[in-house]
Amino acid sequence: MSHRDLPRHALWITIYLFFILGPLFVLLIGAMPPARDFATEFSVALGYSGLAMMGLQFGLTARFRHVTQPLGEDVIYHFHRRISLIAVTLVFVHPLILLVAGSEAMRLPDSLMELPLGAVFAGISVCSLLLLVVTALWRTRLKIRYEVWHASHIVLALLAIGAGLFHMIAWGFYLDNPWKRAFWIGVVALWIALLLYVRVFKPLFMLRRPYRIAEVRKERGETTTLVMRPEGHAGLRFQPGQFGWLTLWGSPFKITGHPFSFSSSAQADDGRVEMSIRRLGDFTDAVQSVAPGQRVYLDGPYGSFTVRDSTAVKVMIAGGIGITPMMSIIRTLADRGDKRRLILIYGNKDWDSVSFREELEALQERTQLTVVHVLSRPHVGWTGESGYIDAALFKRHLPEGYADHEYFICGPGIMMDAIEAALGEMDVPLSRYHSERYSFV
Ligand SMILES: Cc1cc2nc3c(=O)[nH]c(=O)nc-3n(C[C@H](O)[C@H](O)[C@H](O)COP(=O)(O)OP(=O)(O)OC[C@H]3O[C@@H](n4cnc5c(N)ncnc54)[C@H](O)[C@@H]3O)c2cc1C
C-alpha cells in the first residue's frame, strides 16, 4: 500500500468514528430514562460502542472497492484484527465495571432458571466472542483448517452480535423507547446486510460471469499458471499488481475464496487473465491437478499495489512467489512499449526454483529491465548475489538518488520487514514504496 494518501486516510478514520459513535449518541436524543450513576452509564456506553465496532467489521471485510482501494486490503485486515481486540475488550470491561461497582444487575439469582433473559443473551454473546478471539489468535496452533475457521468465524460473529442486540433489548432501559429500539435493530440489520452483500449478492453476480481454464502451465518453483478466459462476458479489467479471489471448485457461494495476484499483462484485450500459484497448502496443492476446460469464478480486481509514479525508476523486490504481481507489471509495461527503467531484485532459494527465469531474460530485450537474482542457497560456481537482500545490496545495484525511485516489495513477511528496514536506513520515505503482504490472517 502507498502511504502518501494521509488526508484521505484521516477522512476514512473520521467516517469510521462516525459509524461507531453515531448510534451511541442517538440514544441521547429525545426522552431519556432516569439518570444512573457514572459507573453504570460508562459501562453501558462501552458495551454499545463495543457492539458497534464489532458490527462494522462486516463493513470492513465486505470488500468494497472504495474502501479497500485507497488503503490496501492488507491494511484493512490488519485494522480488522486490531480493532476487534479493542471491541472485545470494551464488551468484556462492560460487565466488569458493573461487577466492581457492585451493581444490582450483576447479582446472581438463587437458581440459574431465574436468570433474566438479558443476562442469558449476554452470556451467549460473551462466550461466542471468547471463542472467536481464541480461534482467531491461535488458529494455526489449534490446527484448525483455514476453511473451517473462516466459516466458524462468521457464525460466531453473527451469534455474538445477534445475542448482543437481544441482550440490549431484553435489558431495556435506553431501548425501552420504541424508536430507539427500532433504530438499533435497523443498525444491526444493516451490518448483517453487509455480510449478505459479500456472501449472497456478490456471488450471484460472479455466477453470471464465469471463467474457463484455457491452459495450465507448469512453472519453475512448484508453481502452476492458470490461464482463464471469460465465458459469455467481457471479463474484468485490472491494473498490473492487483489481485483477485479465486474459486476453483464449487460455486461462488463457497465461503472461502483464495486471493492470488494477477500475473498476466493487463493489456490482454480478450479478457484473459492468469494467476501463478505456488504449492503451499491443501488448496494450492490441488491446483496442480486443475485441467483445461474447468469452470472457475473470479472476484476482483482488488488492491493498491499498482504503478502510480510516471517519472521514477521502478525498483521491484520480490521474494519467491512474490514475483507474480511484478510479472504483471513488467509484462504490461512491455506490452505498452514503456521504456522506463525497471530494476527487479529477485530472491529465491536456488537457481532451479526461480519461477519465470527464462521469460524474465526475454523481457529484458523488450524493456529497460535489469534483473538481479539473489540466491540464499547458491550452487557451486554461482557468481551472482547470494544471501539476503539488504541495504548494501541495494547500494550495489540501484542508481543514486534512492529516495526518488518508486519501490514495490512482495515476498515472505520476514523478508518484507527486513527490506522495509533497509529502505528506512537509506532514507527512502514511506511514500515511495508499496508493500503487498501475502497473508491477511
Ligand atoms: C493479496 C494476496 C495475493 C496473493 N497472491 C498469490 C500469488 O500470486 N501466488 C501464490 O501462490 N500465492 C498468493 N497468495 C497466497 C495464497 O493466497 C495462499 O498461499 C493460499 O491461499 C494458501 O492456501 P492453501 O489452502 O493452499 O494453504 P493453507 O495451508 O491452507 O494456508 C496457508 C496460509 O495461507 C493463508 N490462507 C489460506 N487460505 C486463505 C484464504 N482463503 N484467504 C487468505 N489467506 C489464506 C493463511 O494464512 C494460511 O495459514 C496471495 C495472498 C494474498 C493475501
Question: In this predicted model, what pLDDT tens digit does every residue of 312-327 receive, in sequence order?
Answer: 799 999 999 999 999 9
Surface-to-core class of residue 317, CB atoms within 10 Å of its CB (0-12 exposed, 13-18 middle, 19+ buried):
buried
Which sequence spans correspond to the domains of the chain?
6-206, 211-302, 314-437
Q: Judge whether 211-302 and 314-437 match in fold.
A: no
> By alpha-carbon position, which residue is closest to atom 3 of ligand 1?
260
Closest atom, ligand 1, to C-alpha of 441:
47
Q: What percent of the chain has pLDDT over 90?
A: 74
Half-sphere exposure of 426 (CA within 13 A, CB side): 26
Note whether 422 and 398 are within 8 A (CB).
no
At residue 281, the pLDDT reads 87
> By alpha-carbon position, which residue is closest to atom 7 of ligand 1?
260
Question: In this predicted model, what pLDDT tens digit does every residue of 363-410 receive, in sequence order?
Answer: 999 999 999 999 999 999 999 999 999 999 999 999 999 999 999 999
User: Residues with Cβ < 8 Å from 190, sequence gap 6 or more?
Assistant: none
Question: In this predicted model, what pLDDT tens digit does every residue of 296-310 receive, in sequence order?
Answer: 999 989 988 888 767
At residue 380, the pLDDT reads 95
Cα-based angle 41, 45, 47 (whole degrees, multiple of 5): 115
Q: How is residue 89 written as a grid cell? A: 475488550
Q: From 215, 168, 161, 221, select the one nearest 193 (Cα to Cα).
A: 161
Domain spanning 314-437 has what CATH number? 3.40.50.80
Note whether 339 and 368 are within 8 A (CB).
yes
Note whether 134 and 88 are within 8 A (CB).
no
Closest atom, ligand 1, to C-alpha of 139:
49
Residues 322 and 356: their CA atoms lie apart, in Å, by 12
> By alpha-carbon position, which residue is closest to atom 29 of ligand 1?
281
At residue 62, the pLDDT reads 82
What strands, in cross-sheet order, belong to the sheet with 243-247?
A: 258-261, 243-247, 295-302, 211-219, 223-230, 273-278
Residues 220 and 359: their CA atoms lie apart, in Å, by 11
At residue 441, the pLDDT reads 58
Residues 34 and 24: their CA atoms lie apart, in Å, by 17
Amino acid of residue 181? R
Phi and psi at 159, nearest 5°, equal: -65, -45
48 pLDDT higher than 90: yes
Closest atom, ligand 1, to C-alpha of 440:
53
4 pLDDT higher than 60: no
Residues 314 and 339: their CA atoms lie apart, in Å, by 11
User: Worst-scoring range by mean pLDDT, 28-32, 187-191, 257-261, 321-325?
Assistant: 28-32
Distance from chain centroid for Cα 171: 36
Q: From 230, 163, 157, 179, select the one nearest 26 (Cα to Cα).
A: 179
Ligand 1: centre distance to CA 242 (Å): 15
56 pLDDT higher than 80: yes
CA–CA distance from 187 to each of 49, 173, 418 (Å)?
A: 13, 18, 43
The conformation of residue 262, written as its DSSP 8-state character, comes to B
Residues 185 and 199: their CA atoms lie apart, in Å, by 21
Residues 197 and 59: their CA atoms lie apart, in Å, by 10
At residue 394, the pLDDT reads 95
Mutation probe of ligand 1 site: the residue of 139, 219, 260, 437 with most atoms within 8 A of C-beta? 260
Residues 320 and 411: their CA atoms lie apart, in Å, by 6
Closest atom, ligand 1, to C-alpha of 223:
11
Average pLDDT, stretch 162-189? 94
At residue 406, the pLDDT reads 93
Note whether 405 and 379 are within 8 A (CB).
no
Radius of gyration from C-alpha coordinates of the chain: 26
> By alpha-carbon position, which residue is closest to atom 27 of ligand 1?
281
Ligand 1: centre distance to CA 170 (Å): 42
Altogether, the residues listed in the chain come to a count of 441
What strands, in cross-sheet order, belong to the sheet with 368-375?
A: 385-386, 368-375, 341-348, 314-319, 406-411, 433-437
Question: In this predicted model, what pLDDT tens digit does every residue of 411-435 receive, in sequence order?
Answer: 999 999 999 999 999 999 988 889 9
More confident residue, 318 or 282: 318
Average pLDDT, stretch 251-275? 92
User: Worst-scoring range by mean pLDDT, 109-113, 126-130, 198-202, 264-268?
Assistant: 109-113
Average pLDDT, stretch 209-235? 96
Mutation probe of ligand 1 site: the residue of 297, 410, 438 with most atoms within 8 A of C-beta? 438
Of these ranges, 35-44, 209-218, 282-291, the one predicted with the greatest mean pLDDT is 209-218
At residue 106, the pLDDT reads 81
Ligand 1: centre distance to CA 404 (Å): 32
At residue 377, the pLDDT reads 95
Residues 50 and 53: their CA atoms lie apart, in Å, by 5
Pocket of ligand 1 (CB under 6 A): 146, 243, 256, 258-261, 275-278, 280-284, 321, 324, 436, 438-441
440 pLDDT higher than 70: no
Tell me the β-bridge partners of 368.
341
Note whether 410 and 434 are within 8 A (CB).
no
- For 382-399, b/e burial (b = at least 16 CB within 10 A) is eeebeeebebebbeeebe
Question: In this predicted model, what pLDDT tens digit does every residue of 69-110 receive, in sequence order?
Answer: 777 777 888 889 999 999 999 999 999 999 999 888 888 888
Mutation probe of ligand 1 site: the residue of 258, 328, 355 with most atoms within 8 A of C-beta? 258
Cα-based angle 427, 433, 437 (whole degrees, multiple of 5): 125
Closest atom, ligand 1, to C-alpha of 286:
26
Fold of 211-302: Elongation Factor Tu (Ef-tu); domain 3 (2.40.30)
pLDDT range class, residue 3, cuts 50, 70, 90: low
212 pLDDT higher than 80: yes
pLDDT, mean over the chain: 91
67 pLDDT higher than 80: no
More confident residue, 12 or 294: 294
Ligand 1: centre distance to CA 249 (Å): 16
Closest atom, ligand 1, to C-alpha of 145:
30
Ligand 1: centre distance to CA 18 (Å): 33
Mutation probe of ligand 1 site: the residue of 154, 263, 284 with most atoms within 8 A of C-beta? 284
